[in-house]
Structure 1
Amino acid sequence: MNMDVLSTNLESINCPCCGTNSNTPWGEELGFSVVRCIECRLLYVNPILKSNCIDVAVREGLHSIGGNQLDVRSRRVPRKIRYYQSKLKVMFSDLWQSGKRIDWVDVGAGYGETLEAVRDLAPPGSVLVGVEPMKYKAEMARKQGLEIRNSYLEPGMFQADVISIVDIFSHIPDFHSFLQIVTKNLKTGGEIFLETGNLADLALRSEFPNELGLPDHLVFAGEPQVRRYLTEAGFDVIQIKKQRVDGFLSFCKSVVKKLLGRPVVLGIPYASHYRQLLIRARLRS
């Protein structure tokens, strides 16, 4: 990787959560550094890619870094549909049982797995829409019969009962501003379903048994930081579920990645404190 070319596309930033500029090194991957904010403990990439580089990568699914290309388009994973069905069926049981139509928007819909799960749960007459800025993913999701808008979420696009924000927190440089846009797309008393990892709850990089996904991933929170973001945006947290992800199957996948030369840290199965956080929160009236 040509680091001279890379450095021209980087800029130093303050903490995306609390705004302070005091931090300590925490981890590295593919020439990028993750630091921990001394004030609020958030983890974030610093220096970060400039916003125009991030935008191109988000829309095209390709990072051009120092003359190399990193493909971050991933692929559709059908088993995610069953996973989100099982989680959402319980966490939003009152919505499904009410029988009332629901306006549900999935932001960063990707290949549409979350929206497919909601489609199988929602009462008749519900309106389900996905928003996905990456053209390739949006096109693939439409092939599943989903309504997908190929764009970023903008203020006033929707009047939703629920907005789901699944595994995109780490891709968003300024989550405060993003949540302000989210609130402008919710009905009074509307809710969000947010899923992200608790990486910032881990003391050391070695405690996370996987790759960080840099520079596609930019910010890593823990439970305290997520609660802070939501509270400051006007949300009350209703429920948080924690999902272990360091099972034997995950370990086997990490071994394969390691053999392929990916920057994976191998850990003992069922030993990590890393969890996926599944959060239901309601906008205060």
Structure 2
Amino acid sequence: MSAPFRLATAAAGDGFEVVVGHAGGVTPLRALLGAGAAGSMLELFDDWAAAVAAIGDALASGAPSVAAPPPALDVPLRFPRKLICIGSNYRAHVEEMRSKPAQWPYSFVVPPTTTLVPSGATVALPRGAEQVDWEGEVAIVIGRRARDVAGAEADAAIGAYGIVNDLSVRDWTGPRRPAVGNDWVVGKAHDGFKPMAPWLTPAAFVAEPAALRIRTWVGGELKQDGSTRDMVFGFRQIVEHLSSVMTLEPGDVIATGTPAGVGKGSGQFLQPGDLVVVEVDQLGRLETTLTESKR
């Protein structure tokens, strides 16, 4: 296996480019692989295994000069084909929400082009919402086309890991819930409601994904401190289930649920000016500031 590296999308002139983080520095992908390098992260995922191998080989043969200062990083996958979220997937979180354990991974889909924002972004609290919540989560990114996969084949479909904060409005899944049930669009799909950390770490470099520590701070106060050990459905089971429903495509992002410690459990919710920080061992850090709606 090559030395570990990770990947991000950086501003470059009037557009964006893929960059490689390695040995404490950052190198543009085109500087490693030449003119034929993928121009976007999604394009890279279209042949993910080959891309990871090629990057590893290039780094092993001697990386070119490292970019300094580091470039401004955006959402790693700016326009994934799908953004799927899993709910109620940590045992302690199910208990704090007074929910019932699900029989299969509970999922919903939100629009990636308007919900995904980069680390460091400022996100407006929706007008009329009184219960806006944080949810630090591990995200998996699909690295190969998957339909009805199981076992080791489901594991192999996971190309990379990242971090998402699944911001949520509890008003319409709780006290003001419509008579027909929870409204997941109003609760989960507001603009900017899925901040994503800049770096994606190839699955080959993530040791023990079933034991990743997830921590979330709000205003400097530690709110969540959990581990993927507490997941009801592990990453393999999530891929197995979703691939039985739909074809998972390279670059699809799946936020896999949050541990205990969300605001709903304590009755504390996000306010203008709050800084939310999510850290996941081996995967990095995500920061988001909340502000009042300007509309």
If the length of structure 1 is used for normalisation, what is the TM-score? Answer: 0.29
RCO comparison, higher one (Cα < 8 Å, 6+) = 2
If the length of structure 2 is used for normalisation, what is the TM-score? Answer: 0.29
- Structure with higher helix content: 1
